[in-house]
Chain A
Amino acid sequence: MMGKFYESTAHSLREELAGNKASASGILTDILQRINAVDSEIKAYVRVSETAAKKAVSSLPTGASAGSLAGIPIALKDNLCVKNEETTCASRILKGFKPPYDATVVKKLKDAGAVLVGKTNMDEFAFGSSCETSCYGPTSNPHDTSRIPGGSSGGSAAAVASGTAVMALGSDTGGSIRQPAAMCGVVGLKPTYGRVSRYGLIAFASSLDQIGPITKDVEDSSLLLNVIAGHDEMDSTSVTEKDMPAGCYMPASDYRQFLKKDVKGLRIGVPKEYFGSGIDPDVLKSVNDAIAVFEKLGASVDRSLSLPHTEYAVSTYYIIGPAEASSNLARFDGVGYGFRADQAKDIIDMYTKTRSMGFGDEAKRRILLGTYSLASGYYDAYYLKALKVRTKIREDFVEAFKKVDCIVAPTTPTAAFRIGEKTKDPLSMYMSDVFTIPANLAGIPAISIPCGFTKEALPVGLQILAPAFREDVIFRAAYTYEQNTEWHLRRASI
């Protein structure tokens, strides 16, 4: 049967596959047709691997040996390494780079039977909040193609929102999963730092990066997290069971067990620092309405909660992130792989020309920022100070979570802005991550789920944050809200 599979969630497709109402090849055909129909306008993908995807479908095992994502088409952000397939981080400097290995999450997806459809657009090396710093050009928001999809995982969010992928993986360093999920009207989860292996994720800022699912609903989010989570001995920062604090569930859990339609007695905190000036009134109204829904469903809401160091989060992030990035990106030098400038006089000239031509403006800006803040004589004033403030921000959350079980807040101050609107003003671009950055600095999990639309029919995201390794609380709150509202059912107009 041919149908609008592209509008479906993974969990409902799994049911249809199990009931023989759908076939993996039928689903893939539908998705590929959808890509042909709309992606020339959205440009969510930088590469579609039609041949590899068809081959994956034809070699799927059947019956009991089929994995938990068997036959589900999934898109990957272009900073995740796929063996022998070009992986570029949307940067000219990595043009032609084909990793000789799979990222751990990619291997896990393949083992679970997922069909990898292609690689999605992103801000170059994940430096951005709009997908506009990509060397391939911007992606459009499926709800309004004159607008940005958010970033840096904008391609993944736009693919899920436009039905060109059933699910997608993104990466979140300062909001790069949650912010585009909010702007595209889909669900984006940044797991606890250490929950998902980073092996094979091309690093932006190693102490902040985390891979996570972008899906159409909360159940799909739990389904995808089931597959990608868990300790990996290739990543020293991925957690083992013995690292897990008491009361937290184990890496090998089935996260779907926490999808309960019940928030009675749940203590929700609403931090006042997230509701100050600069928030779009439509966004504010949607978020306040969502909080009212929680109250109606039996949760208690604490509006006096304070996270006093929130105002320092953005500047802290713009010291630590670029410092790590300046070192992580040093390897792109034209020696071993990727782009190399021609006609260099000597090795220094080759480095200079390769990096000048290979990196875009935002990448250069961050490399310079990071190099400066790590320089001898400035280290204590910038990097070391930022690490101390980071500890303060982490402590804010530890204190807050003594009073509440989870925190709700807007994901972004505004809905999606227009393509080109903020490219000339990096600082105002940086401020669009003001509500998402603290979770990365603290290492805690956070999700963005759809909670309404602006007057211009642009999606608004509700952010739910929980203590480290308490994704169970996030799933419980998010699922309850979602099942009592209908925002997640509204598809993009494209």
Chain B
Amino acid sequence: MEYEPVIGLEVHLQLSTRTKVFCGCSTLFGQSANSQTCPVCLGLPGSLPKLNAEAFRYAIKVALALGCEVQRFVKFDRKNYYYPDLPKNFQITQFDKPVAFNGEVILAYKDAPKMIRIKRVHLEEDAGKLIHEAAGAFSLVDYNRTGMPLLEIVTEPDIASPGEAYDYLVSLKAMISYLGVSDCDMEKGSLRCDANISMRPRGTSGLGVKVELKNMNSFKNVRAALEYEAARQAKALISGEKISQETRLWDVDKESTASMRSKEEAHDYRYFPEPDLVPLVIEKDTIEDIRREIPELPAAKAARFAADLKLSEYDAGVLVSDSRTAGFFEETIKLCGKPKAAANWITGGMMAEANERGVGIGGLGVTPQGLAGLIDMIEKGAISGKMAKDVLTEAIKTKKDPAAIVGSKGLSQISDASALEPIIKSVVEKNAKSVGDYRNGKLNALGYLVGQVMKETGGKANPALVNELLKKIIERV
């Protein structure tokens, strides 16, 4: 029997508000340990939480962008468990009255787009970080992260493969980047993902026993962990074993998962309504105000790029995958009016460079003005395409404006016929044999002659113009 995976994902998104979700402490990343704390986020006796209105608006914004039904009546609950990174030994979260239910993310597959339903979106507080000393005698706690606003986005078990899980995460991250509510940086922990996976005989509709996977620190790891787990479970089922409901941790070095705790060891979180926060009634006007703040989202943008700018679906998809890239592209074409050229430059080299450096496209040091200028120079024949590539590489290296590089290095292409004619004439005189061959029908002899002209000009001659002038001069002589 063949088995297929059934996958659901839980994404935790750290919202990029200025202050924490229930107190006024700063959310800056990478500060010295415990410097970003106060009685509230330290959970000191007597302190009380106070909801950060900005975090709540961000939550509603994400929910709306996911097409969710934002709830009119929302409350917070306590999730009780003991762990030293949780100073109150309960987490303020949302249980039965979250911010929103029922949304969707569409994976834009060319043949058959796939809808992943969003089950719920809720707001909660983050925990601190444990730092384990090498000697093992004790651990230290850094509470700077305690109380950071987290948005949990839970899918229905609609994901049919590890690859789809990966695509969902890419789509979700792209969408969030447009809303400007999170860094979505898995390495910094501002986006975290747990996965639930079970297997069932292919083509059936029931659900098998699910396993929860944790500890994946990149989208690729999520995919790898799911691939490993799907294979492990399928193998077990085929050999007649039962899958036990448990939580397993992904080990990135061993590239495998291992059991962390079984269902029997699972916590009873004893959820109950948080009595220190009053339930909220969200006004319709508030929801509509926030809806108006949502910019054009990647799916709509990609469709527009393909239809209006005649870009390939692939290019459009790549360009919209990050709001900064899309913004850079749109700024560039506003200046030069050449969408295809701009798309080629951005998707062809700049994005790879940016990824390699771990920066956004804006971090390369080339501005949309710079790229637009470069495209203009090619269009006007001032430089060749090959030269432009070198100029861009130089611009990224030196952070200088491409036009300035062209100017300072004298790289400008010779496109002036009167400057080229004397050089061409001398080449024709020196290469009478090749000229003869060409006249006798050996058309490829012309290539040799063009090469000679390029050599004489140090590669700066406009090749098209050289071709044209050469033919004219040979025929005239």
Contact = CB atoms under 8 A, between A and B. Distances in A.
Nearest to B274: A206
B84 A202 contact: no
Contact of B84 (A233, A235, A335): A335
A300 interface: no
B23 to A, nearest CB: 9
A487 B269 CA distance: 51
Nearest to B83: A347
A379 B84 CA distance: 26
A442 interface: no
Contacts of A379: 270-272
A234 B87 contact: no
Interface in A198-233: 198-203, 205-207, 233
B412 to A, nearest CB: 65
A23 B322 CA distance: 72
Contacts, number: 100
B46 A99 contact: yes
Given A237-B276, A371-B270, A327 B90 contact: yes
A435 interface: no
A97 interface: yes
B278 A237 contact: yes
B89 interface: yes
B191 to A, nearest CB: 28
A351 B82 contact: yes
Contact of A236 (B42, B84, B278): B278
Contact of A99 (B39, B48, B50, B141): B39
B270 A331 contact: no
A323 interface: yes
A235 B48 contact: yes
A199 B46 contact: yes
Contacts of A100: 39, 44
Contacts of B269: 376
A324 B42 contact: no
B39 A101 contact: yes
A99 B268 contact: no
Interface string A449-461: 0000000000000
B51 interface: yes
B266 to A, nearest CB: 10
Contact of B47 (A87, A199, A207): A199
A330 B141 contact: no
Interface string A368-383: 0001001110010001
Interface of A is mostly: loop
A198 B270 contact: no
A199 B275 contact: no
B12 interface: no
A324 B273 CA distance: 9
Given A233-B50, A236-B50, A236-B276, A337 B44 contact: yes
Interface in B146-161: none
Which interface residue of B43, B44, B90 has the most chain A CB atoms within 10 A?
B44
Contacts of A205: 275
A471 interface: no
Contact of A374 (B39, B43, B46, B80): B80
B48 A236 contact: yes
Contact of A333 (B82, B268, B277): B82
Contacts of B50: 233-236
B44 to A, nearest CB: 6
Interface residues of B, number: 29
Given A206-B275, A335-B141, A375-B268, A97 B48 contact: no
Contacts of A236: 48-51, 276-278
A351 B81 CA distance: 12
B78 A327 contact: yes
Interface in B250-285: 268-272, 275-278
Contacts of B84: 333, 335, 347
B45 interface: yes
A207 B48 CA distance: 12
A81 interface: yes
Contacts of A333: 82, 84, 89
A35 interface: no
A103 interface: yes
A63 interface: no
Contacts of B97: none
B88 A330 contact: yes
Contact of A94 (B45, B51, B89, B141): B45
A198 B48 contact: yes
Contact of B89 (A97, A233, A330): A330
A465 B135 CA distance: 61
A336 interface: yes
Interface in A50-72: none
Contacts of A79: 46
Nearest to B22: A236
Contacts of B270: 326-327, 371, 374-376, 379
Contact of A203 (B42, B46, B82, B89): B46
A331 B45 CA distance: 8
A371 B51 CA distance: 26
Nearest to B49: A236
Given A200-B46, A201-B46, A330 B268 contact: no
Given A330-B80, A375-B270, A376-B270, A87 B276 contact: no
Interface string B397-418: 0000000000000000000000
A99 B40 CA distance: 12
A324 B275 contact: yes
Contacts of A324: 272, 275
Most buried by A among B51, B87, B270: B270
A295 B87 CA distance: 55
Given A324-B275, A330-B90, A335-B141, A234 B48 contact: yes
Given A101-B39, A234-B50, A323 B45 contact: no
Interface in A97-127: 97, 99-101, 103
B44 A99 contact: yes
A408 B51 CA distance: 39
Contacts of A101: 39, 44, 47
A10 to B, nearest CB: 25
B45 A99 contact: yes
Contacts of A374: 80, 270-272
Interface string A308-346: 000000000000000110110011110111000000000
Contacts of B42: 336
A57 B275 CA distance: 38
A79 B45 CA distance: 9
A201 B44 CA distance: 11
A233 B46 CA distance: 14
B338 to A, nearest CB: 54
B177 to A, nearest CB: 32
Contact of A103 (B46, B78, B88, B275): B46
Interface string A285-323: 000000000000000000000000000000000000001
B295 to A, nearest CB: 32
Contacts of A331: 43, 45, 87-89
Given A206-B276, A330-B82, A81 B90 contact: no
A46 to B, nearest CB: 16
Contacts of A235: 48, 50, 276
Contacts of B271: 374, 379
A97 B39 CA distance: 13
What are the 5 closest A-B residue pairs judged by CB atoms, nearest first? A330-B89, A206-B275, A374-B270, A207-B275, A202-B45
6 contacts: A101-B47, A235-B276, A237-B278, A327-B272, A331-B43, A383-B272
Given A235-B276, A331-B87, 20 more contacts: A79-B46, A87-B45, A101-B39, A202-B46, A203-B46, A206-B276, A235-B50, A236-B50, A236-B276, A237-B278, A323-B272, A324-B275, A327-B90, A331-B43, A331-B89, A333-B84, A336-B44, A336-B141, A374-B270, A376-B269
